[in-house]
Structure 1
């Protein structure tokens, strides 16, 4: 995405947004925002630094640092200050166009944590997963950096390489990735019809144009005689609140709740559907990378439209942010958490996520770590890179006979068979070329819908509900 900053649940066109963006009591001006003694203290600190620091200092950097310090003191990964350049990139993201590695991140306890890789992005293709902690980029540590600084290190020109070191839960050693930065597909809605008139609509994020695109694709599928629908929000990190409400309203019957937004005074703004609902069955696919607006859609469809949720537990982001830029006057931006959102039944899913009605895991090779290409792997060795190679070989049908990391004779035979099929030197060793070929073949295998357990299960559930409905009639 931006290769960085969090795409939060943004407010546009709602009563909360209108109140927030008036600037009343929030950075309206220094004179109204600071008491006299507070302004004096900050001003004195600024003067002392400029007068006494052993090097020349940039005054604007000191001011930015003071604001960053205020935001960090909130201990909220979704509230942040952005300089002019980062603010422009953030606005582009909401508009639906962006470039980078395609990984949505937040800052938690001084660490840069992946919220979700965007579907089809370089990060997803490389194997980056939700909840991964990015330790270094091109050898530079990200620990303790402000999110904006971390973002600037992850970003870079299209075609350039970002070498990431990642810490992943369940892995003892850090994992290394080399990702080529690219433009990320701005198309947020993709749809197709499966056999049996089962429609599938994938939403990669909720940008300003996503609602209109969803309506177009849904109308097209319905016009082709669709009998059931699978909505796919896996690895969708969220987006604009009004857009997800607009999409949910098409499935939630009139008068039923879609979402509740609660401010600091416990006042709730309830979004009530004006739609009519759908007569056909709907399932929604989600995973650990389904966050924020994706979870609003999941909660609304499950609790108010009778849809089945399938896949994995969602990410767990239950707060709402709004952006303040006009008040700052220089192109910079403050993104502040102003409320929390609740599901129709009043549940707050923050840091817990939503459980699927039907849990469906993907095969183990969907989450296999990449192979370190600096070392050649061969007979009688035993390590985690060999384990990754064995998982890949097994997934591709070459049957190494084990997946425990020990390079035995059967593993060597499997490697030779793969090398022969790929027209590589049949050494039986996993060198850099063989490792790259394995990973490329695996990505192609993973992206084949035939191997997507969750999608197949979602389609099967819709087919089952269609059949049950038909038998009643």
Structure 2
């Protein structure tokens, strides 16, 4: 009797698998038909890459808020960010009140040397208005091969009119860890991102502060966008006891689980 039931369950499982595959095929067929209809009939030409990228983003969006799709350009940008080294101007930028704004220039970089200041509004990049330009688009336009120039138009409150700056790109090494003495025995450490060398840079910063007689520490993680998980874990490990669980990841199978 057990053997008969097992055989029937096997048949049902095979039928379910076939139905599932057929259902997936039918849905992909609908997707292909819609893609073809848009390509043939939409009021303006739309590239297949644009539509397929949009479909992929919609697919992962249906999973959870922390799952995302990185197209090749975005993935390359992420790799640059996590190495902490790239060809650029040496400014941190953000969009504030709808305007592309310099958060701060990095010392001894091309932007710093020509006089770019925190709070400057970048209104044009190579004669193209930054109005409605995404932050990612702006970053990709400002970065490039070392030795190549880029023209940016800056508005500053002290200027009578916007001023154009020509800045030659150079290798920018971003310090993910900044330290200083805050008070007599209090140190200050800011971690700007979790990049490739953050934990080792933190060790050096803590060692330097220790030699200065620092016994207390302010750890500043404000505006830290994240980065490499292993570096975040390494940094956290510097401040917690070994027996404390820092993080664990869970996958579909046991071998994908990490703690």
TM-score class, shorter: 0.5 to 0.7
Quickly say closer, same or farther: Cα 1:244–1:81, change in 2 above 3 A: closer
Kindly indicate whether the alpha-carbon contact (under 8 Å) linking 1:188 and 1:205 is maintained by their aligned counterparts in 2: yes
> Residue in 2 aligned with 1:93?
81
**What TM-score do the two structures reach when normalised by structure 2?**
0.55
Structure-2 residue corresponding to 1:213: 201
1:59 positional shift = 1.8
Residues 54, 196 of structure 1: alpha-carbon distance in 2 compared, 3 angstrom cutoff: closer
The whole-number CA distance in structure 1 between the counterparts of 2:161 and 2:220 is 30
The answer as to whether partners of 1:112 and 1:147 remain within 8 angstroms in 2 is no
More helix by share: 2
Task: Report deviation, 1:178.
Answer: 3.4
Once residues 235 and 166 of structure 1 are traced to their aligned partners in structure 2, the CA distance between those partners, rounded to angstroms, is 27
Question: What does residue 63 of structure 1 align with?
Answer: 52
**CA distances 1:377-435 after superposition (whole Å, capped 9, x unpaired):** xxxxxxxxxxxxxxxxxxxxxxxxxxxxxxxxxxxxxxxxxxxxxxxxxxxxxxxxxxx
The counterpart of 1:227, out of the listed 205, 214, 237, is 214
Change (3 A) 1:160 1:190: same
**How far, CA to CA, are the matches of 1:102 and 1:245 in structure 2?**
28
CA distance in 2, matches of 1:149, 1:227: 42
Which residue of the partner structure matches residue 36 of structure 2?
47
Uncovered stretches (5+) of structure 1, i.e. residues with no partner: 1-30, 257-269, 273-473
Q: Is the 8 A contact 1:94 1:239 kept in 2?
A: no
**Superposition deviation, residue 167 in structure 1:** 5.5
Normalising by structure 1, report the TM-score. Answer: 0.34
CA distance in 1, matches of 2:182, 2:51: 57
- Which one has the largest radius of gyration? 2
TM-fit CA distance, 1:206: 2.8
Q: 1 or 2 for the larger relative contact order (CA 8 Å, sep ≥6)?
A: 1
Query: Any conservation in 1 of the 2:186–2:218 contact (CA below 8 Å)?
Result: no
Partner-residue secondary structure (3-state), 1:134: strand
Equivalent residue number for residue 250 of structure 2: none
Cα deviation code 1:3-26 (max 9, x no counterpart): xxxxxxxxxxxxxxxxxxxxxxxx
Aligned-residue Cα RMSD (Å) equals: 5.2
Change (3 A) 1:233 1:100: farther
What is the aligned partner in structure 2 of residue 259 from structure 1?
none
Give the superposition deviation at 1:138.
0.8
Q: What is the rounded CA distance, in whole Å, between the counterparts of 1:45 and 1:133 in structure 2? A: 43
> How many angstroms does 1:139 deviate by?
0.4
